[in-house]
Amino acid sequence: MIYLAQLRAMLERSFSPLACECSVDGDHSLTVKLYHPASGQVDLVVSGLSLDALRTPEAMAGLIDELRYELGSNSLSGPSGDPDLA
């Protein structure tokens, strides 16, 4: 299983310049928050992710792809979204 610090670092590299916060809930599910570090503006929060499903590099790549899709679909990111994240 990937440790939270490793997961956070991977997500921040993938979604730079956004910062990432990862937390584990009582049921061992993961919550990921992507936000702008300077302003604190939150672009995406996804919760209920299975930690058990994140055991391989392929699973992590799949999560990153899903988060990119969600971030691009998020109406808070503006009408055209961020082209660097697409």
Averaged pLDDT score across all residues of the chain: 83
Distance CA 32, CA 5 (A): 12
**Structural domain includes residue 25:** yes
Pick from 12, 8, 57, 14: nearest CA to 30: 8
Range of the domain at 27: 4-75
25 SS3 class? coil
Q: What is the pLDDT of residue 73?
A: 87
Summarised one tens digit per residue, pLDDT across range 29-71 is: 999 999 999 999 999 999 999 888 888 889 889 999 999 999 9
Distance CA 63, CA 13 (A): 14
The number of distinct structural domains making up the chain is 1
**Structural domain includes residue 82:** no
pTM of the model: 0.77
Is residue 77 pLDDT above 70, yes or no?
Answer: no
**Structural domain includes residue 85:** no
Q: What is the pLDDT of residue 84?
A: 47
Distance CA 17, CA 51 (A): 25
